[in-house]
Chains A and B, each alone.
Chain A
Amino acid sequence: MQSKKLGWLLLSPTLFILGLFGIFPFIYVVWVSFHEWNPFAANPEKLFNWAENYRKVVFDAQFLASLGVTLAFVFFAVVSEVVIGYLLAQAFMKNFPGKSFFRTIHTLPLIMAPIIVGSIWKLMTTPSIGIIPNLLDTWFGIDLNIGQSALAAFSITVIMDIWHWTPLVTLSLIAALVSLPSDPFEQAQIDGANKRQVFWHITLPMIRPALIATVFIRLMDAMRTVDEVLMLTGGGPGSATRYVGVHIYKEVFPRTNYGYGSAISVIVLYLSIVICWLLYVSLIAPRNKKG
């Protein structure tokens, strides 16, 4: 009993910090989402309006459109990052000249602040001064203008996200691959398994927990992308890259619509949790033996 009390005592600083910076803000956002609150309006008071903000959200065509492009962005970005990250991790498992140099170089985007990444990509993709439109025009005759073409703007935001976050996937998968025992691979080699069979039946099942954890982290991160995209395209052209994070930013800061912005935030959090939970259930949850 004494040790149980001591355990709670030792845990209390962590629980306090978690409560103060994690749980309290979440409860506050949920509470605000049930209010009409514009602190810079003539009446700056919070007015309780039941689920009116949520009712507004489900009919908000701009939000629903932004949700659609966000899900497309998340799908293309996360799938590409996992595939490229795995291939890079496998490449870094082998010895080749300059391996340490390439590993350091490839990790550099990870340490950059998203706002800097957005600025760099804006400079690189601005027509007439950017290197990417210049090279595409010189080599292939392609006129890349992310200020006019919705598809180009969307693609460039996806590529920027892949460039920024693939190193995270690579590092997690290197850690997973390094920790694998060599026995099953040797056994498979003796049994005459080819590379594809080794990947599907040995490597993939053994790195699955690390892979799923990485996908969860990237999925939740990609769902709330704001700063990079805001810097690069500002959500345009039109609403082609107005992802939910950008939509919330534009709703909360320029329009100071705090209650409605909170309701959208809660729905985005809900969707992130549900998507991760469905992935967990479909991939790693213990099956019901009766079912």
Chain B
Amino acid sequence: MSDKTENTAKSGFLPIETNWFDRLFISVVIWVALSLFWMRFIEPLGLSVWIAAAISVALGAHIIRKG
């Protein structure tokens, strides 16, 4: 398993070497954090939490492809 992980690990713009699962994990962590932050501070100003979801999906796709 570790051999396979090392083989698929790559260096992108993230400061650590990652495989696709690491990058998916980072994307989900960012999605949850951004959604909670949005619900607490941005949503009361009238911007829907779906905007945070859209930003997270776009950011997640970028991280998975280029991270």
Residue of B nearest to A266 (CB): B32
B5 nearest CB across to chain A (Å): 10
Select one of B11, B12, B13, B36 contacting A58, CB under 8 A: B36
Q: Are A287 and B17 in contact (CB under 8 A)?
A: yes
Which residues A222-276 have CB closer than 8 A to chain B? 267, 270, 273-274
Q: Which 9 A-B residue pairings sit nearest by Cβ, starting from the closest?
A: A58-B40, A285-B16, A286-B17, A288-B11, A291-B15, A290-B11, A55-B39, A58-B39, A288-B15
CB < 8 Å A-B pair total: 44
Interface size bracket, B side = 10 to 19
Which residues B14-49 have CB closer than 8 A to chain A? 14-17, 25, 29, 32-33, 35-36, 39-40, 43, 49
Select one of A59, A277, A285, A289 contacting B29, CB under 8 A: A277
Residue of B nearest to A287 (CB): B16
A271 nearest CB across to chain B (Å): 10
Given the interface contacts A270-B32, A274-B29, does A288 sit within 8 Å of B16 by beta carbon?
yes
Q: Are A288 and B17 in contact (CB under 8 A)?
A: yes
Q: Are B17 and A59 in contact (CB under 8 A)?
A: no
Residue of B nearest to A290 (CB): B11
Cβ of A285: which chain B residues have Cβ within 8 Å of it?
16-17
Q: Are B39 and A289 in contact (CB under 8 A)?
A: no
Task: Give Cα A241 to B43, complex, Å.
Answer: 31
Select one of B12, B15, B49 contacting A51, CB under 8 A: B49
B9 at interface, CB cutoff 8 A:
yes
Residue of A nearest to B36 (CB): A58
Residue of A nearest to B40 (CB): A58
Q: List 28 A-B contacts (CB under 8 A).
A: A51-B35, A51-B39, A54-B36, A55-B39, A58-B36, A58-B39, A59-B40, A267-B36, A273-B29, A274-B33, A281-B15, A281-B16, A285-B16, A285-B17, A286-B9, A286-B16, A287-B15, A287-B17, A288-B14, A288-B15, A288-B16, A288-B17, A289-B11, A290-B11, A291-B11, A291-B13, A291-B14, A291-B15
